[in-house]
Chain A
């Protein structure tokens, strides 16, 4: 029998107890069960239920009645808010999504140039807005609509404006500010993953690269860093998609609900409106299904993009 060396360097026989099991042993099942039940109840079933309920008229109290594709027809034909919500969601995700993804990587990349001490201080500073869960209150006060709001009184005192601007009530500004605040809070989990991942890229690859003629950091980034970071980048992208599509909580807090002229209305705020205000759960489910489909498409596209770089 062939002898082999295990992790502790001891010689031993190939015949051994293997821990990586194919069998569905009882302890494995028992330990997975608490999570599995909660996961089913609060993630899988809600997704499944919204697919089913999207074909029903349902108000939580009465029994659902089947109405076929009516909810979907209403969505695409009769709901004047829906196209606005979709357009806003797309605007938010097309702009803040890629920017925050790229920023989370580039900032991490620049920070990685420094020594360990500086690096941890800088990562703390950049991560702190995301860390402080309710930080967007600060922006609310800075952009307060009266002349006492910091930004307003600054502009007034410099003579740039004559009247205080209703930042959150004016559709021209509300959208931009929500995007800025979203970017401000977007250096979250993906940023941390990038920092950790960059720090873990095999140093010898860089050395080999330098010997092989990599003469600037862009070439190094493109040929060495990005390929070694692919799996982290995919995780980071997924996290940014999750954050971008749930932007509504920030929008609602800052610009009110509903926002003036639906200026910051997203699919998600529309769902909340239909579901919790009008209790039209069937229609809210159809909208949710649309949102899920959109997110899945974006997710698949990102996977395709990162894989095709091979």
Chain B
């Protein structure tokens, strides 16, 4: 049934496209896409390819883009390179993993609850909060950096895990996307029926709304995880034992060209988790983003 519907849709598409699509423009478009695509993908391919190059190929002149004798050496040498760091590699990995998971889970919960209220309560105060959220979409941790730093120091959370986690939990993008998606995907009638059946607001949120907005929280998971995984503290963390994987990678990167293979290997390894999360959540992300529109 679904397949038939899909095929019908494609057939329909063709009917109007016959009038509006010229072959010449199609060719231009495909070549433009190819060009832009190469620009986007080549650096990533270069990093993957380079991570498999043996030392003599890394230093070869003239340089070759592709690797002729691939080796795992850059990967196998990573643990010993990282052994020279002040704290064991596993500590950086633990920090990154712990922070990312804490932020992702916490953010989904907090944003989900807030979105539930923003989507359903029409009180003036709540509308004002949502207006504030929309304005605050403009700002992020970078632009708010210094004012936030003052708050961090007043709260005494500098050089603790909190300084990573707390500001990330209040990402307005997440709340906004979640609220917009709830508006269109949770039928009010369904919640009213649940209310009539005697379910409380908390139960309606947890057992009815959250399962219905799974695409939205998978999307939030992707964005939150991606940002958290790339976190590099600037001036807020001093203890080496509290730093994250990207910082450790920076330290390898600082050690010269002979290590460029290893830097690429480390980069490639760091790419894998966010890409994996994206591939898992892709279709849900698309569904959520379609309701991301905002009114001025």
> A residues near B, CB below 8 A?
6-8, 16-25, 27-29, 31-32, 34-36, 38-39, 41-47, 49-50, 53, 60, 103, 107, 110-111, 113, 115, 120, 122-129, 131-135, 137-142, 144, 146-150, 153-154, 156-158, 184, 187, 189, 192-193, 195-197, 199-200, 203, 206-207, 209-210, 214-217, 219-220, 229-232, 234-235, 238-239, 241-242, 245-246, 248-249, 268, 271-272, 275-276, 281, 284-285, 288, 291-292, 295-296, 299, 303, 306-307
Tell whether, in the assembled complex, residue A25 and residue B201 are in contact, meaning their CB atoms are under 8 Å apart. yes
B114 touches A32 (CB 8 A): yes
A131 touches B274 (CB 8 A): yes
Chain B interface mostly helix, strand, loop or mixed? helix
Nearest-CB distance from A175 to chain B (Å)?
18
How many whole Å from B289's CB to the nearest CB in chain A? 4
B residues adjacent to A (C-beta < 8 A): 9-10, 12-13, 15-16, 19-22, 25-26, 29, 32-33, 36-37, 39-41, 43-44, 46-47, 50, 58-59, 61-63, 110-111, 113-114, 116-118, 120-123, 125-126, 129, 132-133, 136-140, 142-151, 153, 155, 166-167, 169-170, 172-173, 175, 187-193, 195-196, 200-202, 205, 223, 226-227, 229-230, 232, 234-235, 246, 249, 253, 257, 260, 263-264, 267, 270-271, 274-275, 278-279, 282-283, 285-290, 292-296
Is the CB–CB distance between B190 and A153 below 8 Å? no
| Contact B294 A138, beta carbon cutoff 8 Å | no
Report whether B143 and A36 are in contact in the complex, using a CB–CB cutoff of 8 Å. no
* Cα–Cα, bound, A22→B245 (Å): 47
- Dominant secondary structure of chain A at its interface with chain B: helix
Provide 29 A-B residue pairs closer than 8 Å at the C-beta atoms, listed in order of the A residue.
A19-B120, A20-B120, A22-B122, A23-B123, A24-B123, A32-B113, A35-B113, A38-B110, A39-B170, A47-B147, A49-B147, A126-B36, A140-B253, A141-B264, A148-B59, A153-B63, A189-B289, A192-B285, A196-B287, A200-B290, A203-B12, A217-B22, A220-B20, A231-B294, A235-B137, A239-B137, A246-B140, A275-B149, A295-B139
Interchain CA distance A70-B132 in the complex, whole Å? 30
Q: In the bound complex, do residue A38 and residue B169 qualify as a contact, i.e. CB atoms below 8 Å apart?
A: yes
Do A232 and B120 have beta carbons less than 8 Å apart?
Answer: no
Find out whether the CB atom of A210 lies under 8 angstroms from the CB atom of B16.
Answer: yes
- Chain B residues near A215 (CB, 8 Å)? 19-20
B29 in complex: contacting residue of A18, A45, A113, CB < 8 Å: A113
Pick from A27, A146, A229, A285: contact of B146, CB under 8 Å:
A285
Query: Known contacts A32-B113, A32-B114: does B144 contact A46 (CB below 8 Å)?
Result: yes
Which of B12, B37, B201: most chain A Cβ within 10 A? Answer: B201
Chain B contacts for A288, CB-based, 8 A: 143-144, 146-147
The residue of chain A having its C-beta at the shortest distance from the C-beta of B236 within the complex is: A276
Contact assessment for B39 and A17 in the assembled complex, using a CB-CB cutoff below 8 Å: no
Measured CB to CB, the nearest residue on chain A to B38 is: A125
Minimum distance in angstroms from B123 CB to a CB of chain A: 4
Distance A288 CA – B133 CA, assembled complex (angstroms):
19
Q: Which residues of A contact B114 (CB under 8 A)?
A: 31-32, 34-36
Q: How far is the CA of A306 from the CA of B260 in the complex (A)?
A: 46
Given the contacts A7-B190, A21-B121, A217-B20, A129 and B44 also touching, CB distance less than 8 Å: yes
Q: Would you call A192 and B286 a contact (CB within 8 A)?
A: yes
**Chain A residues within an 8 Å CB radius of B279:** 124
Q: Does B120 lie within 8 Å of A21, measured CB to CB?
A: yes
In the complex, which of the residues B116, B148, B296 has the most CB atoms of chain A within 10 Å of its own CB atom? B296
Q: For residue B50, which residues in chain A have a CB less than 8 angstroms away from its CB?
A: 141
Contact B195 A17 (CB under 8 A): yes
Q: Are B187 and A292 in contact (CB under 8 A)?
A: no
B143 touches A245 (CB 8 A): yes
Query: What CA separation (Å) do A156 and B166 show in the bound complex?
Result: 49
| Pair B145/A43 contact, Cβ less than 8 Å | no
> Complex formed: what's the CA distance from A32 to B129 in Å?
10
